[in-house]
A and B are shown apart, each in its own frame.
Chain A
Amino acid sequence: MTNTVRLDRLIGRKILTGNNRSLGRLEECRAERRGDSWIVTEWVIGSAGLLERLGFGVRMILGMRTGRSFVARWDQLDLSNPDVPRLNCSLEDLKRA
Chain B
Amino acid sequence: MDVVHDVLDKHITDRNGREMGRVDGILLDVRPNEAPRLAAVVIGASALGFRVNPIVGRWVHGVEYGVGIGEERPIRIDFSHVAEVGEKVKVDVTVAESGAETLERRLREWILKIPGSR
Contact = CB atoms under 8 A, between A and B. Distances in A.
A37 B5 contact: no
Interface string A52-81: 000000000000000000000011000110
A30 B2 contact: yes
A31 B39 contact: no
A39 B37 CA distance: 5
A31 B28 CA distance: 11
Contacts of B80: 36-37
A79 B36 contact: yes
Interface string B1-42: 111110010000000000000001111111110011111001
A25 B4 CA distance: 14
A36 B31 CA distance: 17
Q: Give the interface residue-count category, chain B.
A: 20 to 34
Interface string A24-43: 00011111110011111100
A21 interface: no
Contacts, number: 90
A1 B32 CA distance: 7
B50 A74 contact: no
Contact of A37 (B2, B25, B31, B37): B37
Contacts of A19: none
Given A29-B3, A30-B3, A37-B38, A7 B27 contact: yes
Contacts of A8: 8, 24-26, 51
A75 B35 contact: yes
Contacts of A7: 3-4, 8, 25-28, 38
B26 A1 contact: no
7 A-B pairs with the lowest CB-CB distances in the bound complex, closest first: A38-B38, A7-B26, A40-B36, A29-B3, A74-B35, A3-B30, A5-B28
28 contacts: A3-B30, A5-B28, A6-B26, A6-B42, A6-B51, A7-B3, A7-B4, A7-B25, A7-B28, A7-B38, A8-B24, A9-B50, A9-B51, A11-B8, A28-B3, A28-B4, A29-B2, A30-B2, A31-B3, A37-B79, A37-B80, A38-B82, A39-B35, A39-B38, A41-B35, A74-B36, A79-B28, A80-B30
